[in-house]
Amino acid sequence: MQTIQLADYYIRIGAIKSSLSTFLKQNVFSKIIVLTDENTQKYCLPLLKNALPIDYQTIMIPAGEPHKNLDTCQIIWNSLFEAGADRKSLLINLGGGVIGDMGGFCASTFKRGMPFLQIPTTLLSQVDASIGGKLGIDFGNVKNSIGMFGNPKTVLIDPNFLQTLPTREIRSGFAELFKHALIHNAKFSIQDLLNAYHQNQSNLAAIIGDSLLVKKHFVENDPFEKGIRKALNFGHTIGHAVESAALETHEPLLHGEAIAIGMICEAYLSYQMTRLPDADLDLIVNTFTKIYPKIDLQHFDYQQLIELMQQDKKNDGNAINFTLLKKIGSASINHVANEEQIIESLEFYNDQICKHIGR
Ligand SMILES: NC(=O)c1ccc[n+]([C@@H]2O[C@H](COP(=O)([O-])OP(=O)(O)OC[C@H]3O[C@@H](n4cnc5c(N)ncnc54)[C@H](O)[C@@H]3O)[C@@H](O)[C@H]2O)c1
Ligand SMILES: [Zn+2]
């Protein structure tokens, strides 16, 4: 069992039955309520059952990003009232980033705050969403626009959960692993990640641990994202806009798929603005176009994408703020790109995918 200690809580990586039993022996709660979605109820809850007390209760919500909204919060808050939860009860968020972000938000606002535990069950949530204290929901068509910072009691990660996770979701989670290798001198390289991706993820536990250390580095030095934590936003300014726009279509993209597009565009901006070397740009483009779906961005209205970028929480006023790369392994924060430069980066992405699909 690997333990990563943060300022206010710890993360344990290992068999869930043992880590959860230990946690529940060390902490006393008036009630235990497990929040699941329809998939984690079916695939993940059985792995927890022997570690939970017999009288635990569950709240199940529909799965997926379209349900990360105020309506679902009302279902959760109502269920917490019906279950008789109070500030000494524990909410266990068993699921991906949607459950973790929304469950943490609901727990933190219920009766001014009840404790919660994160048990992330997707690769994306294990390496990213479960650490760093960002909680919240989507509002209107703007992702994560209502929320807060708040920490769980602890985070328990078991890579075994990933065995039932669809391949597309695994690939989405890999985008955040790649991002960590791009923004920081991580223990693993882009090539190590490509190997792990193609070798059925056999050594994922070690990679998850190393990846969390990268996120910990940024989060601990800058918990409220005033400075260097912005490095973690690489690929996310354009990626979030594409993700939000795709949410409105019949073919929504997964978070990591949209971020992979964003990372190609923002690597191009880095090449233009922060002198990312040619070879690094090529490696990023080749890696991501090999793995991720090729989306023709002309399907989206570029102006709408720009407007979505302007609503990004990371901006000051209307200027669109980017985290760029100086080279692979080194991020540079607070760069403003204008509309023309951004559109050029979207066109660069389109040119690259055309090459790879032979158009
Ligand atoms: N708080 C943060 O710092 C942070 C960071 C990154 C992403 N996020 C958020 O995380 C969300 C995306 O997270 P996600 O990719 O985990 O999505 P998700 O929570 O929607 O999970 C993806 C799908 O996998 C299913 N699933 C989950 N675990 C499973 C398992 N073990 N076996 C089978 N199916 C399983 C879910 O039911 C869902 O259908 C986005 O809302 C994003 O904004 C937050
Ligand atoms: Zn992300």
Q: Which of 3-7, 186-190, 340-344 has the highest mean pLDDT?
A: 340-344
Q: How confident is the model over 36-63, as pLDDT tens digits?
A: 999 999 999 999 988 998 999 999 999 9
Q: How far is CA 62 from CA 40, 275, 346, in A?
A: 10, 45, 33
Q: Which of 255, 257, 266, 321 is catalytic?
A: 255
* pLDDT tens column, 201-239: 667 888 999 999 999 999 988 888 888 999 999 999 999
What's the 136 CA to ligand 1 centre distance in angstroms? 13
pLDDT digits (tens, 9 = 90+) for 322-334: 999 999 999 999 9
Q: What is the dihedral of CA 310, 312, 316, 319, to 10 degrees?
A: -30
Instruction: Tell me: pLDDT of 145 over 60.
Output: yes
Among residues 296, 246, 289, 244, which one has the least CA distance to residue 264?
Answer: 289
Considering every ligand atom, which ligand is closest to the CA of 40? 1
Assess whether 233 carries a catalytic annotation: yes
Least confident span in 116-125, 178-187, 196-205, 252-261: 196-205
Indicate the DSSP class of residue 316: B
Q: Which of 217-221, 240-244, 257-261, 298-302 tops mean pLDDT?
A: 257-261
DSSP lists the bridge partners of residue 10 as: 5, 154
Separation of alpha carbons 197 and 26, rounded Å: 37
Beta-carbon contacts of residue 14 (< 8 Å; ≥ 6 apart): 1, 2, 157, 158
Give residue 202's pLDDT: 66
Pick the range with the lowest mean pLDDT from 27-31, 314-318, 326-330, 347-351: 314-318
Report the candidate in 295, 301, 291, 236 with the shortest Cα–Cα distance to residue 269: 236
Ligand 1 probe mutation, 38, 156, 255, 263, most atoms within 8 A of CB: 255
Which of 249 and 264 is assigned the larger pLDDT? 264
Residue with the two structure tokens 């050594």: 203
Name the burial class of residue 302, with classes exposed (0-12), middle (13-18) and buried (19+) by CB atoms within 10 angstroms of its CB.
middle
The single residue of 240, 257, 266, 321 carrying the catalytic annotation is 240
Question: Within 13 Å of residue 80, how many CA atoms lie on the same side as its CB?
Answer: 30
Q: How far is Cα 118 from Cα 105, in angstroms, rounded to an integer?
A: 12
pTM of the model as a whole: 0.92
> Under 8 Å CB-to-CB from 156, ≥6 apart: which residues?
11, 12, 16, 19, 20, 23, 117, 118, 119
Average pLDDT over residues 165-173: 95
Sheet holding 116-120, edge to edge: 2-5, 10-13, 154-157, 116-120, 90-95, 32-37, 57-61
Contact present, 176 and 127 (Cβ < 8 Å): yes
Instruction: List the structure tokens of 170.
Output: 């695994």
Rounded distance, CA 180 to CA 198, Å?
18
Concerning whether 12 is annotated as a catalytic residue, the answer is no
Does residue 358 register a pLDDT over 70? no
Q: Which atom of ligand 1 is nearest to the CA of 104?
A: 1
Pocket around ligand 1: residues whose beta carbon is below 6 Å from it? 37, 39-40, 43-44, 63-65, 68, 95-99, 101, 121-122, 124-125, 128-129, 132, 134, 143-144, 161, 164-165, 169, 172, 255
